[in-house]
Copies of this chain bind each other. A is one copy, B any other.
Amino acid sequence: MEIIDNVKDMQLRADEIRSFGKTIAFVPTMGFLHKGHLSLIEKGKKAGDILVLSIFVNPAQFGPNEDFDSYPKNIARDLELAEKQCVDIVFTPDKESLYQKNYQTYVDVNDLPNHLCGLCRPGFFKGVATVVTKLFNIVKPHYAVFGEKDYQQLAVIRQMVKDLDFDIKIIGSPTLREEDGLAMSSRNAYLTKEQRPAALSLYNALVKARDIVKKGEKNASKIINSVSMDIKKYKDTQIDYISICDPYTLEDVDIIEESVVMALAVKVKTTRLIDNMVLTPDLNYI
CB distance from A17 to the nearest CB of B (A): 12
A134 with B11: CB separation less than 8 A: no
Output the residue of A98, A106, A140 with the most chain B CB within 10 A.
Answer: A106
Complex partner residue of A18 from B19, B106, B112, CB under 8 angstroms = B19
A104 with B112: CB separation less than 8 A: yes
Complex partner residue of A107 from B11, B18, B107, B111, CB under 8 angstroms = B107
CB distance from A140 to the nearest CB of B (A): 7
CB distance from A53 to the nearest CB of B (A): 18
CB distance from A102 to the nearest CB of B (A): 8
- Provided the pairs A164-B133, A164-B134 are in contact, do residues A105 and B100 lie with their beta carbons within 8 angstroms? no
Complex partner residue of A105 from B107, B134, B138, CB under 8 angstroms = B107
Cα–Cα distance between A167 and B106 once the two chains are bound (Å)? 17
Residues of chain B with a CB closer than 8 A to A166's CB = 137
Cα–Cα distance between A11 and B162 once the two chains are bound (Å)? 14
Residues of chain B with a CB closer than 8 A to A7's CB = 165
CB distance from A268 to the nearest CB of B (A): 33
Residues of chain B with a CB closer than 8 A to A129's CB = 105
Tell me how many residues of A have a C-beta within 8 Å of chain B: 34
* Contact residues of A between 138 and 164, Cβ < 8 Å to B: 138, 140, 159-160, 162-164
B162 with A100: CB separation less than 8 A: yes
Residues of chain B with a CB closer than 8 A to A140's CB = 167
Cα–Cα distance between A111 and B102 once the two chains are bound (Å)? 9
By beta carbon, the residue of chain B nearest A20 is: B19
Cα–Cα distance between A130 and B160 once the two chains are bound (Å)? 11
A225 within 8 A of B: no
Residues of chain B with a CB closer than 8 A to A106's CB = 107-108, 110
Residues of chain B with a CB closer than 8 A to A163's CB = 100, 103-105, 134
Residues of chain B with a CB closer than 8 A to A18's CB = 18-19
A21 within 8 A of B: yes
By beta carbon, the residue of chain B nearest A99 is: B163
Cα–Cα distance between A1 and B162 once the two chains are bound (Å)? 28
A81 within 8 A of B: no
A109 within 8 A of B: yes
User: B-contacting residues of A (Cβ < 8 Å)?
Assistant: 7, 11, 15, 18-19, 21, 98, 100, 102-112, 129-130, 133-134, 137-138, 140, 159-160, 162-167
Q: List 11 A-B contacts (CB under 8 A).
A: A15-B167, A98-B165, A100-B162, A102-B111, A104-B109, A104-B112, A105-B107, A106-B107, A107-B107, A108-B108, A134-B164
Q: A102-B111, A137-B164, A138-B167 are in contact. List 8 more A-B contacts (CB 8 A).
A: A11-B165, A18-B19, A19-B19, A98-B165, A103-B163, A108-B108, A133-B164, A137-B167
